[in-house]
Amino acid sequence: MSFQTPITIAEAIDNIEANRYLLPAIQREFVWPSDKIEWLFDSLMRGYPISSFLFWNVEAGPGPTYKFYRFLRKFRQVYQVHNEEASVDGLSNFTAVLDGQQRLTSLWIGLKGSYAFKEKRLHWNDDERCLPTRQLYLNIKQKRNPDDEEDGREFEFVFMKESDTAKADIHAGEWFRVGKILDLKNIATFNGYVTEQKLSPISIEILSLLNPQLDYRNNDFHLDHLHPISGFTKKAITSLKLNPEEEEIFLSPEWNNSIVNLQMLDSNENMSKQDKSLDDWVTLETKKKERMVFLDRCIIPHKSSLQLRDFAIFAKERDALLSKRLSELLK
């Protein structure tokens, strides 16, 4: 056995869905309680390692016959806990998961499945009253205070009843259905969703994930515009001599007041940025810093013009760069 190149969460989910990941008969059944799944997602959000997995590449051909099982898609306490046997006929090869079933099943349940456990003080009946189906949600309005929590979690993940949420992507204005993130794989879909739902807190959370070097725990960060928002006026169009396509992008809040033109800055950077033009600010910041390193950290395309008159080109190039960086995190 050897170490393999790490894969993304999305790739793992795809492999489970396509039965490219199966479980050998020696594996025990899924046993994690709901709060342990919530812990796992909190660890992922905080960038903590969730340990390694042990895989066995099974190749088709003559040899001993083993039984393999599919991952559990939906968990219902007592009533739906057994893994379905998988047919491997016709599979050229697949991967048997020797260690990691609990974590992989938890990822599936949190992102694409459901978890049902019995309500207190009710009898054991296999119905929605006694065992309501729940999906995983994340509080996007505020984080937990880890100093006030015995378990030390920072993000509030909760399995919420489908009867309460109606499976809505946003529940009660503050709860985000975690599985929805799989649909927001690029900046265009993400930014459109944020604009439509008016979910600026999500923008901050995503930007915090893209900039892990900032001190988010102590709120030592500020959300600011790269090109000052005060410059995007109809009057500016005349002096900048923009063509119609450039004008449309220049005046659109979906471009000038979106993640494409926003950046998380630490306190010192925010003090130096203020209302400076992007070109002047980068020049100031890189007098004593390596320019390419600084641009990389701020996710600014290396070859883009930083002049306001070239905002349309800058916006498209940064959109592409952010999409690439975001997809690496969310896949």
What tens digit of pLDDT does each residue of 265-285 get?
Answer: 766 777 778 889 999 999 998
DSSP letters, 107-153, are HHHHHT-EEE-PPTT----SSTTTS-EEEEEEE-S----TTT-TT--
**Pairing status of strand 93-99 against strand 21-24:** parallel
pLDDT recorded at residue 32: 97
119: tokens are: 């309500």
**Interatomic CA distance for residues 17 and 61, integer angstroms:** 23
Coil, helix or strand at residue 54: strand
pLDDT recorded at residue 72: 97
- Say whether pLDDT at 125 is over 50: yes
DSSP state at residue 214 = S
Measure Cα distances from 6 to 9, 15, 104 in Å: 10, 14, 14
User: Which residues face 57 on adjacent strands?
Assistant: 95
**Owner of token pair 């459109």:** 192
- Of 268, 262, 258, 264, residue with least CA distance to 216: 264
What tens digit of pLDDT does each residue of 204-227 get?
Answer: 555 455 444 444 444 455 678 899
> Could you tell me if 116 and 75 are in contact, meaning their C-beta atoms sit under 8 angstroms apart?
yes
Coil, helix or strand at residue 293: helix
Which range among 95-99, 189-193, 214-218 has the greatest average pLDDT? Answer: 95-99
Coil, helix or strand at residue 267: helix
Task: Please state which of the ranges 98-107, 282-291, 305-314 shows the lowest mean pLDDT.
Answer: 282-291
48: tokens are: 């903590």
Task: Please state which of the ranges 220-224, 263-267, 300-304, 317-321 shows the lowest mean pLDDT.
Answer: 220-224
Instruction: Tabulate helix, strand, coil % of the chain (nearest 5).
Output: 40, 15, 45
pLDDT recorded at residue 27: 85
**Interatomic CA distance for residues 244 and 237, integer angstroms:** 10
Q: Which has more confidence, 138 or 105?
A: 105
